[in-house]
Chain A
Amino acid sequence: MTASLPPVLEVRAAHKRFGAVHALKGVGLKAYRNEVLALLGDNGAGKSTLIKCISGVHEIDEGEILIDGQPVALHSPAAARSAGIETVYQDLALFDNLTPAQNFFCGREIAGPSWLPKGLQFLRTRQMDKDAAAVIERLKVKLPKFDAQVALMSGGQRQAIAVARATVFARKLVILDEPTAALGLRESRKVLDLVDQLRDEGNAVILITHNMEHVVDLADRAIVLRQGHKVGELRPDRSNQKEMVSMIMGAE
């Protein structure tokens, strides 16, 4: 549907080794705006490794990463974030001791005056609270208390906060690593609604999940990894669900 525009993100022939483990063996992918790309594969297939290379946690050993057609070097998570890539990690990377608003802006605080070094600037707490409240409102996330520590919130609420944080700063690409793995039915639904919304707001979305229902429901395209190789790519619907599963399993 967006084939005419260049991909927001392109990975070409990426290799990643951890000592003797060859986790990615020449994987390529393209992600487009207004599109949810499902990244599928059995445990250990290399999904998390691939997205950690894209979000700057790991660096690829060989291959290329392009953003809007330009090759980039993502040396750190901060570099990826400033390139417009937001990640919702499998472990959420939330700060239990901080409030949702403080979590949203952690590492990217609104502060001033700007002539001081960042660390010595004064927090604009009211501004950040206001902005965070607006996002929570827009995404229709229900939180028990806006100024409570994240430690006191349920799995679904925490997941929603992590996704909402990504939406605050998402400009190009949002990556979600198994965002519903630990959630009940209703909480999962809420998170998937957020994913839908992210796409509708013009982001490219990469979604890792083991739930085929969610893939068929939500994803525009799916890529399957197995043992570090890309073994397939298709447009998921009810009719090819079986085919997807056998690609993931590697059995006919």
Chain B
Amino acid sequence: MRLKFAWNAGVATSVASGKEPVTGLSLWLRLLGAGPIVILLLLIGVLALSVPMFFTPRNLSNILAQTAVIAVVALGQHLVILTRGIDLSVGSNLALATVLGALMFRVNDNAFVVMATMLAAGGAVGAINGLVYVYGRLPHPFIITLATLSIARGLALELSIGHTTMRGMPETIAVIGGGTTYGIPNSFFVVAGVATLLFVVAKTMVWGRWIYAVGGQPDAARRMGIPVNGVIVSTYVIAGLCAGVGAVLLAGRTEAGSPLYGNLLELDTIAAVIIGGASFLGGRGHIGHALVGAVMIGVIRNALNLLNVNAYYQLIAIGVIIVLAVQSDVLRNHLEGRMRVLQAARVQ
């Protein structure tokens, strides 16, 4: 509601003063773009002042550790959403990867082998998603990733033969997922590393530019000679690999695999990407959006926990925030349309 009002105000002032409107509008647009990070900082500020236990090194370190899995999987989800897609299977994919990792640990306790198993499992499910979506000519990735959501979870339950936790992980993986360095969780460094890598790919490499082009206008991308199918499949493979990394972190922190891990992770990661400020309409957003969104979810959960708020309310809170975030995406489109009209008026 408040956003709507602001929008009206912006247009009203713009009509009054000839050349101003364009600058006025672009200011609003920029404000909207910076919105999520500003809101996150405000939120942290308010919580620091009002919730006693919140702004302590120990709690902050906790937040990072709890956010790491959502964050790293959201990084992959973000690439998929950039191409106008969606990956509903990431949570089940992660669970299956931890189960396969735990099974591998019983056969071979080499940390590298166990880690490779989890990453390969994640990447394989991602590849199936992408290949079936593209070459099966499915109308929407919703369908195949919904199918693999079910299949991967079923497989994980079958393979774990009735055990909800399969204890045992190599020491190295436990340190990566659960250890700290100077009080900072090691998982934080893993997330930072993956984010940096994906940032380099997305912003400095041709492949990344193609991802944005495919998301912006798939038809035009085809006519400009971009290998659209390959680009789309690659985003699902990366999303799967990110789920594999998430599996390593979670299995490491708990020193176990479980077919129940990653429940509703698809919801958390999609929420993180959208709350962070990327667009469902494709081609808009960057790594920072996924990270900001993930941290925001982590902070809200943590604060509600500290305040002893019922867990059900956490779900409701996240849902409300998603609606607000999507609303601001819609608002941004309105403003851009306005901007186009004003530009045209300026030329005439």
Partner-B contacts on A (CB < 8 A): 57, 76-78, 81, 87, 89, 91, 93-98, 102, 106-109, 111, 118-123, 142, 144, 151-157, 184, 186-187
Contacts and interface: CB of A to CB of B under 8 A. Distances in A.
Contacts, number: 107
A175 B48 CA distance: 62
A165 to B, nearest CB: 9
Interface stretch (B55-63, B112-120, B209-217, B296-304): B209-217
B281 to A, nearest CB: 9
Given A93-B217, A123-B206, A152-B340, 20 more contacts: A77-B222, A78-B225, A91-B219, A95-B212, A96-B217, A96-B283, A97-B216, A98-B213, A98-B283, A107-B213, A108-B224, A119-B205, A119-B210, A120-B206, A122-B206, A144-B346, A154-B343, A156-B344, A184-B348, A187-B344
B340 A151 contact: yes
Given A93-B217, A102-B209, A152-B336, A187 B225 contact: no
Contacts of A152: 26, 336, 339-340, 343
B72 interface: no
Interface of chain B, main secondary structure = helix
A109 B206 contact: yes
A156 B204 CA distance: 30
Interface string B214-239: 01110111111111001000000000
A123 B209 contact: yes
Interface of B: 22, 26, 204-207, 209-210, 212-213, 215-217, 219-227, 230, 282-284, 336, 339-341, 343-344, 346-348
19 contacts: A77-B224, A93-B217, A95-B212, A96-B216, A97-B282, A98-B213, A98-B216, A98-B283, A107-B213, A107-B225, A119-B206, A121-B205, A122-B206, A123-B204, A144-B343, A153-B343, A154-B344, A154-B346, A184-B344
Contact of B283 (A77, A78, A95, A122): A95
Nearest to A121: B206
Contacts of A91: 219
For B206, B220, B221, the residue with the greatest tally of chain A CB atoms inside 10 Å of its CB is: B206
A97 B283 contact: yes
Contact of A118 (B206, B220, B221, B346): B206
Nearest to A95: B216
Contact of B217 (A78, A95, A156, A187): A95
B339 A93 contact: no
B214 to A, nearest CB: 9
B220 A94 contact: yes
Contact of A93 (B220, B340, B347): B220
Contacts of A94: 217, 220
